[in-house]
Structure 1
Amino acid sequence: MRKLAQRVLPGALILLAGCSFIPAYERPVPPVTAHWPVPAQTAGAQAVAGITWQHVLPDPRLQALINAALEHNRDLRIAVARVEEARALYGISRADRLPTVNLGVAQAAARLPGELSATGNEQISRRYDVNLGVAAFELDFWGRVKSLSAAAQASYLASAEARESFRLTLIADVASAYLALQEMEERLSLVRATAENRQDLRFLVQKRREVGLAGDLDFLAADGAYAAARAQLSELERGRTQAENALNLLVGKVPADLPPGRRLSEQDLPLDIAVDVPAEALLYRPDVRAAEQKLIAANANIGAARAAFLPRINLSLAFGTASRTLSGLFDAGTGAWSFAPSLVHPLFDGGRTQGGVDLAAARKVIAVAEYEKTIQQAFREVADLLVARDKLAEQLTAQEAAEKAQNERLRLVDARYRAGVSSYLEVLDAQRDAFAASQGTVQLRRVLFVTAAQLYKALGGRAGN
């Protein structure tokens, strides 16, 4: 019987050590359609996984600002610190799976007065100890500590993915703010040129009125058009300052030696990024990966909660030497050891353990719903940006043609007015249409390029170098 126990017990312990109550993890099926609402062009397109943000945003000034933001942005520093915090917590949890070995050196001295001594004489006792010990190490037969370690690891990976998601968002936000500032700069140039042109025409109308070739209505119209241009100039200067302040806030610390930037017409952002089917494309996104790691952590916590129903076995032991005198600590025959295993099994806790299981299960349901919600939000974001990219490109082509036609019309009407053939109302109407077309072209370029940058982020582009 004893031999049978010696054979069976080690094998049983090995089997128990491999036990785990973590439910088998299965990635939820993405709750989105199999295809995008608008077919994505993939022929000759570039895969997002192989494109760096430097390729997507080639403007050297913008790249310098993004690098500065990645170094100095305070929110990014917080996100990086969150990762370090989660990694430290994972290290602490992982350390619980191994015994903690301590070196102990102790001295104990006591004096017993004579009236309490059996001999009637006072007694003084001393003891010196040196030992290596393990205190209350839990033998993880049921996988409770392993489950907690797995949950901490998943939480750490989720925080790392959240950091990458924030880096991508920061890159896209800096690009959007920079392009908005470029738009303001170009619109300011247009307004300044328009104001100068209207001032010249106002002077010309005034001279024509003095010789009787133009009436008061023409002069008032010219004067009003010039004043309107000046008012819009002030408005755009205010908008430019606000756009610059927004960019500076994102960057954190603007470098002093920035290289020259490019005009919107020279940006050359890639508009041919390839897009896989939704079930594959969305898994590139770090926010989706972060949501899945949180789900994995919630799943592992169920295993830890289930294991709490079973006995918890702790082991404490020490090995060393003990002596009455310090000099005799390492003499022969001074070896000392202690061995104190313990087993604690929950019998009645008022439903606390079952409540822990129910809590872990509920949190997993929440994590599944949050994962699916993240997938759905990502699907909508990418779908909106895909249709925006295609339609904005078409709209910009038409807008550039309209701008060219309106500028040519203005040139002809201005020449006819100076020759005395056309009225000033025709000039004013042509000025307004040409100015609106030019402003519209600048605005559309900015929106199209911001869409390209946001699409790169939405597809989970590479935030690192």
Structure 2
Amino acid sequence: MITLRTWFTTTLFAFSVSACSLIPEYQQPENPSPLPARQDASTDLNATDIGWRDFYQDATLQNLIDQSLSNNRNLQATALMVQQLREQYRIRRAEQLPMLDGEGGYTRQRFSPGANEFGQSGIFEQYSVGVGIAAWEIDFFGRLESLKQAALSDYLAQEATLKSTQLTLVAEVADAYLSWQASLAQLKLSESTREAREESYALITRRYEGGLSSELALRQAETALHEARIAVAQYQQQANQNFTLLELLVGQPLDQDDYPVNWQTTGLLRSLPDNLASDSLLQRPDVQAAELSIQANNASIGAARAAFFPRISLTSSLGLAADTPGGLLEGSNRTWQIAPQFNIPLLDWGVNEANLEIAELQKELSVVRYQEVIQVAFKEVYDELQARETLEDQLTAQQDLTEATARSLELAEKRFDAGVDSYLEVLDAQRSLIDAELAEIATNLARLRNQLTLYKALGGGLLAETISP
């Protein structure tokens, strides 16, 4: 007679002898694009250790980043995918354990006279209660363990993708805000130019009406005025589009009146160290996600290998059965059942081999993609480091050009007032000055973009506060 202890002992023994892993030993792929080693690692922090609140030093920008982390729909969707894969991992982990179900039933049946040896009809009743395990797979060859490991790696990879999405979002909000502020500065400059040309056009009109200026000068001033009006409309459109993009990234409507023009080129961003750790790229979340995908596919190979071996499952139950409800209280009415089953693949026409080949190819593909992610990350960092070396020189030259064109305009206006040159020289000098001033704003924006893009490329933007060295 089987007892409850014996039944549980048999079940636990089956569980204890399971899970022989067929997962290949994992080896980290070679880094195809290492950065130069840092000369003195004690002097500077990695970008990953610098919190975005310390890197982006403008209070308004910090507030916008805070809002985006709470409201951005793309970030929320990625977070939901993380939760979904976490629950999938829980399911895979639970599949390794026997599912214990409570059972109960009542049967009432009439027998005909010809259905029994006594030739009598009758009504049969039976009540039953118990507990049971239905078709629990005993993981002798690690199929379920492999699927669990793959699900865990998928979950962790998606979690790393969430972090990568946050890095991108922080950088995009900063870029959109700075671009919007720069376009507002260019719009303000264009409006000032339009106002100045309106005054010039009015002055030339009066001189023309007094016979002191030619119609050619009048039409040239009129043309310059229309050019300025067009520029104002263009920069207004650009500012509107940048603000709309900022609203999309933040995830909620913004009031432009709460964000006045505040274009400044210093004190916005924290300087990044010149020395870079050779392993900094490996800390990027997208690189980590790519490596976790390799591990997930590596575990899937174990599950594909296990499909070649028998699959063993166990169904068992223990309970009481009687013809009256009161009889369920009698120990002599115990019932039990143990039904092990196995399934051996004999002829599958190459399906298991094809599944194993697919799993191995999937791993090879994930390795290639991992190395590609590293190469892209290296290019992003390398491009921004090279740009940083030239943007400062470019900005200095641009500032010198602005000063030179301002002086040229001053001289052209004096020569026109003295009647030495035509108004065309004044217009040329005005165009050169406005182009130089607009280009200076654009160069300052490019320099700021270089800093924030390098910060993001090095994995910065995940932490809110800087880690103390």
Provide TM-score, normalisation by structure 2. 0.88
* Structure 1 range deviating more: 289-298 or 135-144: 135-144
- What CA distance in whole angstroms lies between the structure 2 residues aligned with 1:204 and 1:297? 75
Indicate yes or no: 2:271 matched with 1:271: yes
Aligned runs of 1:113-132 on 2, under 5 Å? 113-132=112-131
Partner of 2:33: 32
Question: CA 1:339–1:14 in structure 2 vs 1: closer, same or farther (change >3 Å)?
Answer: closer
The structural deviation recorded for 1:69 is 2.3
- What CA distance in whole angstroms lies between the structure 2 residues aligned with 1:40 and 1:187? 42
Partner of 2:24: 23
Q: Is the 8 A contact 1:147 1:300 kept in 2?
A: yes
- Post-superposition Cα deviations, 1:8-66, rounded to whole Å, max 9, x if no partner, equal xxxx9999646211111111001125539xx9998965421221122222222222322
Partner of 2:401: 402
Tell me the number of residue pairs that the alignment of Structure 1 and Structure 2 aligns. Answer: 451
Partner of 2:111: 112
Partner of 1:92: 91
Question: CA 1:43–1:88 in structure 2 vs 1: closer, same or farther (change >3 Å)?
Answer: closer
Partner of 2:326, secondary structure, is coil
Partner of 2:10: none
Partner of 2:141, secondary structure, is coil
Partner of 2:327, secondary structure, is coil
- What CA distance in whole angstroms lies between the structure 1 residues aligned with 2:331 and 2:41? 81
1:360 aligned partner, one-letter code: A
Partner of 1:3: none
Q: Is the 8 A contact 2:15 2:138 kept in 1?
A: no
The structural deviation recorded for 1:122 is 1.6
Aligned runs of 1:141-290 on 2, under 5 Å? 141-255=140-254, 258=258, 262-266=262-266, 268-273=268-273, 276-278=276-278, 280-290=279-289
Question: CA 1:195–1:450 in structure 2 vs 1: closer, same or farther (change >3 Å)?
Answer: same
* Structure 1 range deviating more: 417-426 or 328-337: 417-426
Question: CA 1:109–1:193 in structure 2 vs 1: closer, same or farther (change >3 Å)?
Answer: same
Question: CA 1:40–1:187 in structure 2 vs 1: closer, same or farther (change >3 Å)?
Answer: farther
Indicate yes or no: 2:135 matched with 1:136: yes
Q: Is the 8 A contact 1:385 1:451 kept in 2?
A: yes
1:53 aligned partner, one-letter code: W
* Structure 1 range deviating more: 260-269 or 62-71: 260-269
Q: Is the 8 A contact 2:57 2:270 kept in 1?
A: no
Partner of 2:321: 322
Partner of 2:347, secondary structure, is coil
Partner of 1:74: 73
Partner of 2:8: none
Partner of 2:335, secondary structure, is strand
Partner of 2:337, secondary structure, is strand
Partner of 1:300: 299
Partner of 2:459: 460
Partner of 1:393: 392
- What CA distance in whole angstroms lies between the structure 2 residues aligned with 1:137 and 1:44? 58
2:332 aligned partner, one-letter code: G
* Structure 1 range deviating more: 43-52 or 129-138: 43-52
Indicate yes or no: 2:427 matched with 1:428: yes
- What CA distance in whole angstroms lies between the structure 2 residues aligned with 1:393 and 1:337? 83
The structural deviation recorded for 1:303 is 0.8
Partner of 2:154, secondary structure, is helix
- What CA distance in whole angstroms lies between the structure 1 residues aligned with 2:369 and 2:446? 31
- What CA distance in whole angstroms lies between the structure 2 residues aligned with 1:131 and 1:274? 71
- What CA distance in whole angstroms lies between the structure 2 residues aligned with 1:457 and 1:112? 79
Aligned-residue RMSD, C-alpha:
2.7
The structural deviation recorded for 1:312 is 1.8
Indicate yes or no: 2:354 matched with 1:345: no
- Post-superposition Cα deviations, 1:84-105, rounded to whole Å, max 9, x if no partner, equal 1111111111111111111111
Q: Is the 8 A contact 1:60 1:260 kept in 2?
A: no
Partner of 2:331: 332
Q: Is the 8 A contact 1:60 1:259 kept in 2?
A: no
Question: CA 1:221–1:258 in structure 2 vs 1: closer, same or farther (change >3 Å)?
Answer: closer
- Post-superposition Cα deviations, 1:244-301, rounded to whole Å, max 9, x if no partner, equal 22222222213459565631325521232455355x1211211111111111000001
- What CA distance in whole angstroms lies between the structure 1 residues aligned with 2:400 and 2:136? 77
Question: CA 1:272–1:34 in structure 2 vs 1: closer, same or farther (change >3 Å)?
Answer: closer
**Percent of aligned positions that are identical:** 36
Q: Is the 8 A contact 1:40 1:386 kept in 2?
A: no
Q: Is the 8 A contact 2:395 2:444 kept in 1?
A: yes
* Structure 1 range deviating more: 179-188 or 145-154: 179-188
Partner of 1:392, secondary structure, is helix
- What CA distance in whole angstroms lies between the structure 2 residues aligned with 1:46 and 1:402? 36
The structural deviation recorded for 1:150 is 0.1
Question: CA 1:244–1:445 in structure 2 vs 1: closer, same or farther (change >3 Å)?
Answer: same
Q: Is the 8 A contact 2:184 2:261 kept in 1?
A: no
2:265 aligned partner, one-letter code: S
- What CA distance in whole angstroms lies between the structure 1 residues aligned with 2:397 and 2:195? 28
* Structure 1 range deviating more: 196-205 or 80-89: 196-205
2:171 aligned partner, one-letter code: A
The structural deviation recorded for 1:310 is 1.8
Partner of 2:108, secondary structure, is strand
- Post-superposition Cα deviations, 1:183-236, rounded to whole Å, max 9, x if no partner, equal 211111111111111222222233333444433322222222112111211222
Partner of 1:219, secondary structure, is helix
- What CA distance in whole angstroms lies between the structure 2 residues aligned with 1:261 and 1:218? 35
* Structure 1 range deviating more: 23-32 or 112-121: 112-121
Structure 2 gaps of 5+ residues are 1-12, 465-469
Q: Is the 8 A contact 2:50 2:463 kept in 1?
A: no
- What CA distance in whole angstroms lies between the structure 1 residues aligned with 2:64 and 2:237? 22
Q: Is the 8 A contact 2:107 2:126 kept in 1?
A: yes
Question: CA 1:375–1:242 in structure 2 vs 1: closer, same or farther (change >3 Å)?
Answer: same
The structural deviation recorded for 1:422 is 5.6
* Structure 1 range deviating more: 144-153 or 451-460: 451-460
Provide TM-score, normalisation by structure 1. 0.89
